Amino acid sequence: MIHIHRSHRRLPRRLLLAASLVLLPAGSLWAQQDPHELFQQGMRAFRDGNLEEAQSKFRQVVSLDPSRDDALKLFTESQDALIELMVEGGEFQTFAEEILAASAAAGREALRDPEAASELAQACLTGSASSRQQAIFRLSRFGPFGAQPLVRELAAPNEDRRFAAVYALSRLGSSVLAPLTVAATSDDARVRQGAMMALSQMDDERVHSLMAHIAASDSDGQNRQMAMSFGGDPNSAGALAMEQGWKYYNQDAAGGMAGVENHGVMWTIDGASLEPYDVPRATVPLEMAKAEFLRALGYGVAEASVGLSMVYGTELAVLAAEMERGNADVEDAYFAQRRAALTLPQASMDQALLQAMDRGDVATSEALIGLMAGPGLVNFSGLSAAVSSSIPSLRFAAANALAGAGDASPAVVQALAEAVSLEALRMVHVVDTDPARAQALSAALSSMGIVVVSGMDGADALVNLARAPYADAFVLADPLPDFYARRIVKEIRRRDDLSEVPIFVYGNEETGDIDGAEVVESLTAEDLVGGLGAWGSERQSFMNTAAAAADSLARLATAQASSVASVSDSLGSAIQREDAVSVPVMGALSAVGYAAQLDALMGVVGNIDRSMEARAAAANAVAGILARNAGTMVDAGVLEAAMNSDDRNLSMAAARALGMMGGNHMAASVAPQG
């Protein structure tokens, strides 16, 4: 079972303010009940100290499944009350964030209209103070894309326009932090200075690392001095970059990137020309973390390469999941990340693997193992831990990597033998706030050979969802510490490949029906497994795992037969599998097989429905076993028929087996054969 631990910090007020920048006209009202009245009842109970009654009313609001426009209306009428609830924390904060998330959904669709944004930007630079403020407010609805035209003005020859642009950018606030941090790396000193000045006015802890970096290394002395005046400590640049990198990677509530801020874009800067480019949303905070770790590496912080290993491993997992879902556009990015990661010290990847396993991040762990496998493998601590993991996929991947380095220890050989029989693994995500209930279900599922990805809150669920290439079922508690289950269900159903996956929700009295999920009071492993669908085509990865394990055992059996002999029964059970598995398995049996397996192998030799490659491999296995078991006999007629095959590999293998059995010599002449 996989556990993910994370600290739960209250969201900064900037996120609530960010949502207010994307407000749209109110839409429909809920038809069944008046959510506004329910909300007011809940607030009255909350302020009277009747917290259970308040909780019940707020749950009823959520059970009505507010649309974005409905939530926006509630948001616009109740911002102060929502702030009260966020300050209170617990489920009250969860409720406030639920309304915030629904109302801020429009932020993910922030306008990307360069002409309209440019027109508004011009209005931010001229006119009365009042008209400028109105223009800035209207530009804020473009989210980070509102920064583009203003950044261009940071290089304007007119100083007044530059300062007006700085002011407007500072008023746009944290919604433009991402593009401004990139603008602060421009090759134009004026652009760097303007971006820094705007960032300095934001009450956002994520700016501290950048200010220290500018103070330490900007090529312009005036910029360095200004950064120090803004609190940038040049002596702390490396340490702050590491700290901020982990906040982005961990999606820290206060210092990371919240979902409402993530528009699925990264930014480039050329002089004063700021341009976005689309990337999978899950990679955005990872790229932000990568930039910080690279900066720390530049300051000589050795552990930065561990952070980079974690980032690359996670990005590979995310991009692999995208490709599994049919997104071929990310293939080049995938191989670019893989190539870059391979240039990191192997010891750093080894330490990252240990961290990823400790975090319960299976997808990242598997990606790191894949990076470490290959020539020159010398760091084993992470792989040695992985081969003993309770997670089958980690066990198999680590065993293959270690076998490639010549490790034929019992743990490695046993894991490979288990993998050879692998046809597919089920994966179930369990996100539950009741540890005993979660542990009982997870243990029961694990005993059935099902991989359980376990989390404790909605953030865990969303992170695992983004990183997992597939899932067979989800089990969610309602409410979770940070989200109601209803919201997680919606996120799951956004993925086409998960549209039919069973979702079970442990409900409460106010949960109500949830579209796309089954609300239950209790759930057994047997009930869950009974509701699982058919295997999907994406499970080719399991065939690949079994085939890789078979190849590894074949190589080990040739070099260290005594170490592999203990799993010969497992190998024998795979003789009838697909060629990708059975052919190397029979290669291993040629070195470690025993007489009782000859009948099954001879059945393959004589089976004209099997491929020539498989029949030849079986004949070679027969030859190897006969060589170790003098006097043992098999059906010579089957071997003679195979010897006369037009396939030369099969013919030679059958002839070898006949010779090992000590049968009659079958002579041949150099004269033409009639």
What is residue 7's predicted lDDT score, i.e. its pLDDT?
Answer: 36
What is residue 666's predicted lDDT score, i.e. its pLDDT?
Answer: 83
CA triple 530-536-539, angle to 5 deg: 110
Residue with tokens 């642009």: 165
d(CA 545, CA 392): 11
Instruction: Specify the CATH number of the domain 427-534.
Output: 3.40.50.2300
Other CB atoms within 10 Å distance of the CB of residue 421 = 14
Average pLDDT of span 196-211 = 94
Average pLDDT of span 218-226 = 95
Model pLDDT for residues 610-640, shown as the tens digit of each residue: 999 999 999 999 999 999 998 899 999 999 9
Average pLDDT of span 374-382 = 88
Nearest to 444 by CA among 478, 489, 475, 488: 475
What are the backbone angles phi and psi of residue 427, rounded to the nearest 5°? Answer: -130, 125
Instruction: Please state, rounded to an integer, the average pLDDT across all residues of the chain.
Output: 87
Angle at which helix 485-493 crosses helix 90-103, to 10 degrees, equals 40
Amino acid code (one letter) for 529: V
CA triple 544-545-548, angle to 5 deg: 85
Q: Could you tell me the pLDDT band of residue 33, with boundaries at 50, 70 and 90? A: low
d(CA 150, CA 173): 13
| Neighbouring-strand partners of residue 503 | 474
d(CA 147, CA 275): 10
Instruction: Specify the CATH number of the domain 594-661.
Output: 1.25.10
Domains 427-534 and 594-661 fall in the same CATH topology: no
Other CB atoms within 10 Å distance of the CB of residue 214 = 26
Least confident of 30-34, 61-65, 495-499, 663-667: 30-34
What is residue 659's predicted lDDT score, i.e. its pLDDT?
Answer: 92
Write the CB contacts of 291 (distance below 8 Å, at least 6 apart in sequence).
181, 245
**SS3 state of residue 503:** strand
What is residue 574's predicted lDDT score, i.e. its pLDDT?
Answer: 93
Domain edges within the chain = 23-107, 110-259, 427-534, 594-661
Strand ranges inside 417-502, DSSP E: 427-431, 451-455, 473-477
Average pLDDT of span 553-562 = 94
